[in-house]
Amino acid sequence: MVAVDREHLRLVSEEDSSKRRQILDGARKVFMDLGFDGASMGEIARAAAVSKGTLYVYFADKCALFEAILEQEALQHGQVAFNFDPARDVETTLKDFGSAYLHLLCRPGGGSAIRTVMAIAERMPDVGRRYYARVLDKTVNRLAEYLKAHVACGDLNIDDCDLAASQFMELCKASLFLPFIFQAAPSPSEERMTEVIDSATRMFLAAYRVK
């Protein structure tokens, strides 16, 4: 009995008890499909295969559960192994990064996190800000760091590397991301993504490569 109780305590106190993860998995799906308001705790409980009461054992309220998911999303994003090894040549690095980034955005359900957070950014500004800082801005910074290294070694001639990083990322989305997220087009094909990324890379280098 004592053993059991200890076990129980461990489960909830640890960040990653299996129940907790189970809830997060179910909740993510529901939140991303239906949005913050569209997702009901009942639906989440069903998706996670736990009772509604159990949700409140692990999370104070709906909002806390949502933020926990974004937290997790941020961690996963951070772990996506963009290869920013400064030793790699710029063109290859940009193309690889662009491809990974675009796949992330346009995978089915991929735009959902962005969309979902965006939707409530006005009502819950902290959530929006944190998501931007942890996920989006962080990636810009990592690319910017890479660019700075190549500015330093004379490959590139860039004044504002943060801006340049953002520019490249925006270029990768050209003609693809908005139609996708507005449901005006399905996930783009591999060929089209390659074309767009090649074009983005060409344009970027035309502007910033030292000749």
Tell me the sheet residues that pair with 156. 209
Q: Return the DSSP state at 156.
A: B
Residue 208 to residue 147: CA distance in whole angstroms: 10
| 163-180: burial string, b at 16+ Cβ within 10 Å, e else | ebbbbbbebbbeebbeeb
Residues 143-172 that bind a second copy (CB under 8 A): 160, 162-163, 166-167, 169-171
DSSP annotation of 175 reads: T
Binding mask 58-77 for DNA (x = CB under 7 A): x-xxxx--------------
CB 149 within 8 A of CB 84: no
d(CA 173, CA 126): 26
Q: Is 183 in the site for a second copy (CB under 8 A)?
A: yes
Using CB under 8 A, which of 25, 88, 99, 128 touches a second copy?
128
Nearer to a second copy, 85 or 126 (CB): 126
Q: Which residues bind a second copy (CB under 8 A)?
A: 32-38, 112, 115-123, 125, 128-129, 131-133, 136-137, 140, 160, 162-163, 166-167, 169-171, 173-175, 178-179, 181-184, 195-196, 199-200, 202-204, 206-208
Binding site for DNA (CB under 7 A): 4-5, 8-9, 11-13, 17, 19, 39-43, 50-58, 60-63
